[in-house]
């Protein structure tokens, strides 16, 4: 490749609106609030604490302020000021503190409730209520034109997600299934409110028409002296996505939840073959064969057609269940795997993922059943919770004799939580359960996927480094059921450093003999979104039904997923449109964006899996980066300008069957070159493929990772010649380094097409 001097487009600084926002605290009466642009967004409601069978509240003076004080100091985030109010509630006292930062670019308030004495008989007798309330915010009056996004329900807040106008009579799911709440206006102001500690015990509750309370979950009946719980209110003037990102940055930094375990997770890096709900082989084997033979046949088929699956996922069909459908003994059953896991591993040579579900009260591991470990039984539901670090250590240790179980899928976190009352009433068991599981997994190099997770589990994973991924939509189902819509829950998962998992999918429409009697018309959208999610890519076709052409758009020749830097996420306008409705000029449907940055250059991705109106997408609405040219996946020859003044016109042609997919790329080398990348992949410019883009004397050097025995066709557009040109990097002939080793090829080594 030719060229003169290179210049690198520097990321534009964010456009700061002239916004004045302040958290205000009245040191006299303990009231507090958030004012944005001279409009009061949040006003404190009543503070209250339960004890001795009653509620002590500021509303009727039963909660009495004793003292107030201010303090200041500095933490990892910078200098702060705080206001503390000590209240007397009958026989016990509580300390409520609001902390804000001095740095005006960090608009955060941390609210802390600390019990200075033990409080007994605190239960609200409803698990979805709270037994304490600080902070609380009034529902009336509410800021003009504001909307909300509330994550709630399982799969990272997917199943009971709510979006709407923030009006005095709002009522969205809170309590045990509730999660972070985002309040935003129709410009770019947004606030995120959530627990900041004690994630398994903290909740929120809407006192209908009056206020929203944040506090301790409703069935807790005693809070010991010294117990403390924190909540965060995070404000940003750069919109919903940026507010969530800033909020997530605060949490991940506070809990030191690094991206490394996620980035290094084998199952996040490489494609695998799945057997979970929706899969061809989910509780379904080849005719007349057991699972052992079926799995060996699948491995043989995969090998025959040379699809580089790197691992297998074994779902809930292999272990022993108890009377209540929970796990009784987590061991492969004789009729399923007669020769055990080690044998399967020897035959397939593939590491695997091990599913598990909630524990049955009958579990053989429980001391009360003659086993060796502490379990807390729930006799009413027939479930149980393990409460013993050694249990987890021993079962993960045992997987070491199984060949290679590399990841643990903790499924049914929702039912385990719903059906064990100890998890509603005990302040500590929930946190211990998930931390012990995580620590033991970490000791054996096993990563964890949360499935069926409520927002509280996702937040709890901040304290569990080995949790690297979470399912962000409901179970896969062929035939068009919405479950490919990863865009909103991915916002939540990603900012707390979890890879969003779209779940399995099929690559071929019709697969006779499947257990569902269904067909999959949306294979393209499914495969695309699985890849763009940045989570695991795990198809589950029957033997003979893998569409290799479609599937391999995800990955390089070794099965390494060619992903963007970030999961595709719903743009702010999608959320705002869902809240404000017409005439707000937003999309009715799903508009997601992502990007890859290589050596300072920005390569955008726009995916529109479904749109029910016409929408003009500006580059500012897509992402806070500059762009210049764009092209459609199905017509790369037609490049066009994409900016704020030349928006992309999107419409009803974007359907689940025919999702619209666009890429953007900057003009480089004095506006003479547009790097388009490997057009046969979903992500033509992936950081996993293109290492760096550099200039030397007049040349653009694009460092491309080409695997042994791999051929990569790289496309660019020459402005001066007005044509697409290709470069072929053929590593099948030149030389044969060790199997699967990675080499770097400079363009000079490749040939111009």
Ligand X SMILES: *[C@@H]1O[C@H](CO)[C@@H](O)[C@H](O)[C@H]1NC(C)=O
List of residues contacting ligand X (CB under 6 A): 26, 28-29, 38, 48, 52-55, 57, 59-60, 62, 71-72, 79, 81, 84, 86, 90-91, 95, 97, 112, 114, 116, 121, 324, 339-340, 342-343, 346, 381-382, 393, 397, 415, 418-419, 508, 517, 524, 547, 549-550
Report in angstroms how near the CB of residue 38 gets to ligand X at its nearest.
Answer: 4
Closer residue to ligand X in complex, CB, 456/524? 524
Report in angstroms how near the CB of residue 125 gets to ligand X at its nearest.
Answer: 9
Report in angstroms how near the CB of residue 503 gets to ligand X at its nearest.
Answer: 20
**463 neighbors 435 (Cβ within 8 angstroms):** yes
Whether the bond between 135 and the residue before it is cis, its omega within 30 degrees of 0, is yes
Closer residue to ligand X in complex, CB, 170/415? 415
Distance CA 275, CA 283 (A): 8
Closer residue to ligand X in complex, CB, 116/170? 116
Closer residue to ligand X in complex, CB, 406/648? 406
Terminal-residue alpha carbon distance, the chain: 11
Distance of CA 19 to the CA centre of its chain: 30
Report in angstroms how near the CB of residue 517 gets to ligand X at its nearest.
Answer: 4
Report in angstroms how near the CB of residue 524 gets to ligand X at its nearest.
Answer: 6
Report in angstroms how near the CB of residue 408 gets to ligand X at its nearest.
Answer: 16
Distance CA 170, CA 166 (A): 6
Ramachandran sector of residue 100 (left: φ over 0; alpha: ψ -120 to 50; beta: rest): beta
Report in angstroms how near the CB of residue 318 gets to ligand X at its nearest.
Answer: 16
* Closest to 164 in 3D by CA, of 179, 192, 183: 183
DSSP class of 560: B
**29 neighbors 228 (Cβ within 8 angstroms):** no
Distance CA 566, CA 683 (A): 12
Residue matched to tokens 């239960």: 123
Distance CA 673, CA 668 (A): 5
Q: Which pair of tokens denotes residue 245?
A: 């990102």
HEC-encoded secondary structure of 719-732: CCCCEEEEEEEECC
* Closest to 187 in 3D by CA, of 31, 388, 18, 365: 18
* Closest to 443 in 3D by CA, of 497, 397, 388: 397
Report in angstroms how near the CB of residue 355 gets to ligand X at its nearest.
Answer: 19
Report in angstroms how near the CB of residue 529 gets to ligand X at its nearest.
Answer: 14
Cα dist from 729 to 52, 107, 459, 706, whole Å: 75, 49, 44, 7
Which residue's Cβ has the minimum distance to ligand X?
53
Closer residue to ligand X in complex, CB, 4/59? 59
Report in angstroms how near the CB of residue 583 gets to ligand X at its nearest.
Answer: 26
Closer residue to ligand X in complex, CB, 324/597? 324
**309 neighbors 350 (Cβ within 8 angstroms):** yes
Closer residue to ligand X in complex, CB, 419/669? 419
Closer residue to ligand X in complex, CB, 380/696? 380
Closer residue to ligand X in complex, CB, 217/571? 217
Continuous segment of H or E residues that includes residue 458 = helix 455-460
Burial class (CB in 10 A: 0-12, 13-18, 19+), 286: middle
Closer residue to ligand X in complex, CB, 221/718? 221
């Amino acid at each position: 490749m030719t060229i003169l001097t290179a210049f690198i487009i520097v990321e534009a600084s964010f456009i700061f609106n002239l916004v004045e926002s302040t958290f205000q605290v009245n040191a006299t009466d303990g009231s507090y609030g958030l004012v944005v642009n001279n409009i009061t967004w949040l006003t404190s409601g009543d503070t209250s604490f339960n004890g001795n069978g009653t509620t002590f509240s500021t509303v009727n003076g039963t909660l009495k302020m004793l003292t107030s004080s201010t303090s200041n100091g500095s933490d990892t985030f910078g200098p702060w000021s705080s206001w503390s109010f000590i209240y007397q509630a009958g026989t016990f006292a509580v300390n409520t503190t609001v902390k804000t930062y001095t740095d005006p670019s960090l608009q955060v308030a941390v609210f802390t409730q600390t019990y200075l004495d033990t409080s007994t008989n605190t239960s609200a007798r409803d698990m979805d209520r709270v037994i304490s309330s600080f902070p609380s915010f009034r529902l009336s009056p509410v800021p003009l034109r504001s909307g909300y996004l509330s994550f709630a329900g399982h799969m990272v807040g997917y199943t009971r997600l709510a979006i709407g106008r923030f009006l005095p009579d709002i009522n969205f799911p809170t309590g045990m299934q509730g999660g972070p709440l985002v309040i935003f206006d129709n410009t770019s102001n947004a606030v995120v409110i959530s627990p900041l500690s004690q994630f398994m015990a903290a909740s929120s509750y809407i006192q209908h028409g009056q206020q929203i309370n944040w506090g301790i979950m409703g069935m807790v009946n005693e809070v010991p002296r010294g117990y403390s719980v924190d909540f965060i209110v995070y404000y940003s003037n750069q919109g919903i996505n940026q507010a969530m990102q800033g909020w997530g940055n605060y949490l991940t930094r506070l809990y030191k939840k690094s991206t490394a375990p996620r980035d290094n997770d084998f199952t996040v890096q490489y494609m695998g073959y799945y057997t979970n709900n929706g899969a061809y082989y989910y509780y379904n084997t080849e005719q007349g064969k057991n699972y052992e033979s079926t799995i060996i046949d699948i491995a043989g088929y995969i090998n025959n057609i040379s699809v580089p699956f790197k691992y297998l996922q074994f779902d809930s069909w292999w272990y022993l269940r108890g009377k209540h459908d929970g796990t009784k003994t987590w061991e492969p059953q004789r009729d399923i795997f007669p020769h055990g896991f080690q044998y399967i591993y020897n035959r397939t040579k593939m590491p695997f993922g091990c599913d598990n579900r909630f524990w049955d009260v009958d579990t053989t591991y429980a001391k009360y059943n003659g086993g060796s470990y502490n379990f807390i039984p729930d006799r009413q539901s027939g479930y149980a919770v393990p409460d013993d670090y050694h249990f987890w250590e021993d079962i993960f240790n045992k997987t070491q004799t199984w060949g290679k179980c590399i990841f643990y899928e903790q499924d049914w976190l929702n039912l385990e939580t719903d059906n064990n009352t100890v998890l509603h009433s005990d302040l500590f068991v929930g946190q211990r359960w998930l931390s012990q599981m995580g620590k033991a997994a970490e000791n054996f190099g096993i990563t964890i996927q949360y499935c069926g997770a409520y927002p509280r589990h996702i937040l709890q994973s901040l304290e569990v480094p080995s949790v690297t991924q979470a399912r962000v939509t409901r179970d896969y189902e062929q035939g068009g059921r919405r479950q490919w819509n990863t865009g909103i829950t991915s916002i939540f998962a990603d900012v707390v450093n979890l890879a969003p998992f779209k779940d399995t999918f099929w690559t071929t429409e019709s697969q006779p003999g499947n257990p569902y009697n269904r067909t999959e018309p949306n294979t393209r959208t499914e495969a695309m979104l699985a890849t763009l999610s940045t989570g695991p890519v795990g198809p589950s076709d029957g033997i003979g039904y893998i569409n290799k052409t479609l599937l391999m758009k995800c990955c390089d020749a070794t099965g390494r997923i060619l992903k963007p830097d970030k999961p595709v996420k719903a743009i702010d306008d999608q959320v705002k449109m869902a809240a404000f409705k017409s005439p707000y000029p937003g999309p009715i449907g799903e508009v997601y964006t992502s990007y890859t940055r290589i050596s300072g250059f920005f390569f955008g991705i726009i995916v529109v899996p479904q749109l029910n109106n016409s929408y003009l997408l500006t580059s500012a609405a897509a992402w806070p980066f500059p762009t210049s040219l764009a092209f459609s996946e199905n017509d790369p020859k037609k490049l066009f300008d994409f900016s704020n003044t030349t928006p992309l016109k999107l419409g009803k042609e974007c359907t689940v069957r025919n999702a619209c997919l666009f890429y953007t790329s900057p003009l480089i080398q004095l506006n003479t070159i547009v790097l388009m990348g490997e057009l046969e992949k979903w992500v033509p410019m992936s950081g996993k493929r293109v290492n760096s883009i550099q200039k030397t004397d007049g040349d653009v050097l694009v460092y491309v990772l080409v695997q042994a025995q791999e051929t990569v066709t790289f496309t660019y557009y020459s402005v001066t010649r007005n044509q697409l040109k290709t470069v072929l990097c053929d590593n099948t002939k030149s030389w044969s380094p060790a199997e699967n080793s990675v080499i770097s090829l400079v363009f000079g080594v490749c040939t111009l097409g």
